[in-house]
Chains A and B, each alone.
Chain A
Amino acid sequence: MSTTIVISIIMTILIAATPILLASLGELVVEKSGVLNLGVEGMMLCGAVCGFGATVATGSLLAGFLAAMAAGVATAMIFAFLTLTLSANQVATGLALTIFGVGVSSLIGKPFVGRTVGRLEPLLPAALSDHPVLRVVFGYDILVYGAIALTAATAWFLTSTRPGLILRAVGESDSSAHAIGYPVIAIRAAAVAFGGAMAGLAGAYFSLALTPMWADRLTAGRGWIALALVVFASWKPGRLLLGAWLFGAVATFELQAKAMGATWLAPEFLAMLPYLATVVVLTLISMRRAGAEGSAPACLGKPFATA
């Protein structure tokens, strides 16, 4: 294989990994606080369509990404109100959020179908980002770098800062955290809002960077894969990076095989690969953990009531 192909494969992997990494980072923080939000796919779709719409309206990509994060937070707040304030079932509410996001995004996005916008360009000047070899390091848009930096920042936040410690305490033992005097519900709501912002951003990465257009169900289940990635990573941000790249590799293999016109495997089977790989990877990680109780936050998915 020539260097050019290797470079382009590496680049495709990193780019494909980016939205999944963003969304799963958000969900990791949410789950660390003891909340399971299954609505990632729905929040991503709302972010994708609102981001695209804002960019169409203003011509600004920055406005698009900001709108996407706002849309993610707004939808996440529906979830927070239902599960945290009214202590509704988190699984059911998360599912409702996904169904809602699929519908709403399709409804809002109707006028945008078929339109295009200028996509997110590489961050650095062309001398570096178009360089035949150096582009493997310098040829990405800001969010590819941003997602990796955010992974490090999240790891640092959770392990080495006081608010991070409190967040984890809330996820491990909500009643103890409450007894010490921490506002459990408010902390969880903040985590859910962060998860929404990240999911929205991840969605907009689809509609403004990967394929600068809007189509119904654009994210094609990637939000669910992000959820799986959190389990795969055993709730550790560093391992999310590994998982996201692994997923990026599977997606890249699918693209490459299609591009080279592989006839030994029908395109439909190639399209199954990301989902099958997710099941296999989840199984492998669970096999390794079998016996031990796993590393999920102790209060994950359980409603908190003060009385």
Chain B
Amino acid sequence: MLRLEPRREPSAVMRALSPALAVLLTLIAGFIAFTLMGYNGALAIEQIALAPLLDPVRWPDLLIKAAPLILIATGLSIGFRANVWNIGAEGQYILGAIFATGAALATWEMSGRWILPLMLVAGAAGGAAWAAIPAFLRVRWKVSEILVSLMLTYVSIQLLYYLVRGPWKDPQGFNFPQTRMFSDSQTLPAIIEGSLVHLGVPIAIAVAIIAWILMSRSLFGYSVRLVGMAPQAARHAGFSENRTIWATLLISGALAGFAGALEAAGPFGQLVPQFPANYGFTAIIVAFLGRLDPLGVIAGALLLAVTYVGGELAQTSAGLPQAAAGVFQAMLLFFLLAVDVLARYRIRVGGPAHARAGA
């Protein structure tokens, strides 16, 4: 008989090791699943998990895909620490892109160095405004932020469709549902000449580092963690739960909106109906994979970026459908949640379980 025995303190070693173990288990389970479904399992796993790392040509792509994940997951990890479950980051990400595009269309035919920052600030404001709705409803009437933020994601997708098909449609776009292409002043510059790696990549890493300092070295970070771990104690210490809800939702909304603005001004260069790429949902996996720690999030985002890029490679080489990468990512989260039990419990073989529990 196997039996779980709670540890007095969660094991730090296991907490750090469990993502690696989860990755390993996911590779094995993925191999089995893809083989059973009639694909070349070994090739599929090799393409999804290894090929992007081995081929330097893919590295810029990894950084580009990781940037929005880092930004969004950093914001989410702060909220999750406080038990504030913003799962509508995808919607805030879309709103960020919409606001940034609005700023771009308003500054049409203008030029100057101020336009791009304006777009990015507008994007962050848009994401924060969208997240303010669940924050207000939760604080004022205790409405579940989980459901509201998620519902608003569906609303934001329709809003995006409406704008690109209607008022914002490019007049010279042959009736395609898309906005004008952004001008040079409205596009993120590349940081390495001739590559697609844009300014958003170093910004995202800097934001994660700032968030890490904020969370581990400031009173705010302490209050967020305390509200999440021991709400009662937090109340006695004078930390307001409502203020924490507002702060964490606004921060995660702003970062998701900022990511949306960067993505619109970077890789897309315009707003199109295909803009939503599920980064907002994948970032939830990244946040957990990164142990709800902004530095861990950087590693988690790079890992998930591998599956994004690898998933595309596996489509052409192993004939795997696009959804395979999503399954792979979800399995990763399942395994992570499962192996996390090793951090909280010791596994004992045999022995009297109830005797100790009763003592």
A residues at B contact (CB < 8 Å): 38, 78, 81-82, 86-89, 91-93, 95-97, 99-100, 102-104, 106-107, 110, 216, 220-221, 224-225, 227-228, 231, 266, 268-269, 271-272, 275-276, 278-279, 282-283, 286-287, 289-290, 294, 305-307
Residue of A88, A100, A216, A289 near B330 (CB, 8 A) is: A100
Residues of B near A276 (CB, < 8 A) are 151, 155
| Contact between B143 and A286, CB atoms less than 8 A apart | yes
- The 10 tightest CB contacts between A and B, nearest first, are A103-B326, A106-B323, A100-B330, A268-B162, A103-B327, A88-B337, A96-B333, A286-B141, A99-B330, A86-B341
Residues of A near B288 (CB, < 8 A) are 92
Residues of B near A107 (CB, < 8 A) are 37, 321, 323-324, 327
CA distance A289 to B281 in the complex (A): 31
In whole Å, how far is B141's beta carbon from the nearest beta carbon of chain A?
A: 4
Chain B binding surface, main DSSP class: helix
| Contact between B338 and A82, CB atoms less than 8 A apart | yes
Residues of A near B329 (CB, < 8 A) are 99, 103
B279-322 interface mask toward A, CB cutoff 8 Å, 1 = contact, 0 = none?
00100110010000000000000000000000000000000011
Residues of A near B284 (CB, < 8 A) are 92, 95, 99
| Contact between B337 and A89, CB atoms less than 8 A apart | yes
In whole Å, how far is B145's beta carbon from the nearest beta carbon of chain A?
A: 11
Q: Does B150 touch A at the CB level, under 8 Å?
A: yes
CA distance A31 to B182 in the complex (A): 49
Q: Does B85 touch A at the CB level, under 8 Å?
A: yes
CA distance A92 to B76 in the complex (A): 12
Chain A binding surface, main DSSP class: helix
In whole Å, how far is A164's beta carbon from the nearest beta carbon of chain B?
A: 25
A92 and B337 in contact (CB under 8 A), knowing A107-B37, A231-B144, A272-B159? yes
A286 and B142 in contact (CB under 8 A), knowing A104-B327, A266-B166? yes
Residues of B near A307 (CB, < 8 A) are 5-6, 356-357
Nearest to A284 among chain B residues (CB) is B141
Residues of A near B322 (CB, < 8 A) are 106
CA distance A216 to B321 in the complex (A): 12
Nearest to B330 among chain A residues (CB) is A100
A290 and B155 in contact (CB under 8 A), knowing A95-B284, A231-B147? no
Residue of A96, A99, A279 near B151 (CB, 8 A) is: A279
A88 and B327 in contact (CB under 8 A), knowing A224-B147, A275-B154, A275-B155? no
B residues at A contact (CB < 8 Å): 4-6, 37, 85, 87, 133, 137, 141-144, 146-148, 150-152, 154-155, 158-159, 161-162, 165-166, 281, 284-285, 288, 321-331, 333-334, 337-338, 340-341, 344, 356-357
| Contact between A282 and B337, CB atoms less than 8 A apart | no
| Contact between A283 and B327, CB atoms less than 8 A apart | no
A95 and B334 in contact (CB under 8 A), knowing A275-B154, A282-B148? no
A305 and B6 in contact (CB under 8 A), knowing A106-B321, A279-B148? yes
In whole Å, how far is A176's beta carbon from the nearest beta carbon of chain B?
A: 16
Nearest to A276 among chain B residues (CB) is B155
CA distance A282 to B322 in the complex (A): 35
Residue of B141, B152, B165 near A290 (CB, 8 A) is: B141
In whole Å, how far is A89's beta carbon from the nearest beta carbon of chain B?
A: 7
CA distance A290 to B143 in the complex (A): 10
In whole Å, how far is B334's beta carbon from the nearest beta carbon of chain A?
A: 5
| Contact between A91 and B357, CB atoms less than 8 A apart | no
In whole Å, how far is A290's beta carbon from the nearest beta carbon of chain B?
A: 5
CA distance A82 to B339 in the complex (A): 10
23 examples of A-B residue contacts, CB within 8 angstroms: A81-B338, A95-B87, A99-B284, A100-B334, A102-B323, A103-B324, A104-B323, A106-B321, A106-B323, A216-B323, A221-B154, A225-B151, A268-B161, A271-B158, A272-B154, A272-B158, A276-B155, A279-B147, A282-B144, A283-B141, A286-B142, A287-B141, A307-B5
Residues of A near B5 (CB, < 8 A) are 307
| Contact between B143 and A283, CB atoms less than 8 A apart | yes
Nearest to A83 among chain B residues (CB) is B337
Nearest to B149 among chain A residues (CB) is A279
Residues of B near A97 (CB, < 8 A) are 330
Nearest to B325 among chain A residues (CB) is A103
CA distance A283 to B142 in the complex (A): 8
CA distance A172 to B170 in the complex (A): 57
Nearest to B357 among chain A residues (CB) is A307
Residues of B near A294 (CB, < 8 A) are 142
CA distance A102 to B147 in the complex (A): 18
In whole Å, how far is B166's beta carbon from the nearest beta carbon of chain A?
A: 6
Nearest to B344 among chain A residues (CB) is A87
| Contact between B150 and A224, CB atoms less than 8 A apart | yes
In whole Å, how far is B355's beta carbon from the nearest beta carbon of chain A?
A: 11
CA distance A97 to B333 in the complex (A): 9
| Contact between B6 and A275, CB atoms less than 8 A apart | no
Residues of A near B281 (CB, < 8 A) are 99
Nearest to A100 among chain B residues (CB) is B330
CA distance A225 to B147 in the complex (A): 8
Nearest to A88 among chain B residues (CB) is B337
Most chain A CB atoms below 10 A, which of B284, B321, B330? B330
CA distance A210 to B197 in the complex (A): 46
Nearest to A305 among chain B residues (CB) is B6
A269 and B158 in contact (CB under 8 A), knowing A102-B326, A305-B6? yes
Residues of B near A96 (CB, < 8 A) are 285, 330, 333-334, 337
CA distance A220 to B337 in the complex (A): 26
Residues of B near A224 (CB, < 8 A) are 147, 150-151
| Contact between B141 and A228, CB atoms less than 8 A apart | no
Residue of A92, A104, A305 near B333 (CB, 8 A) is: A92
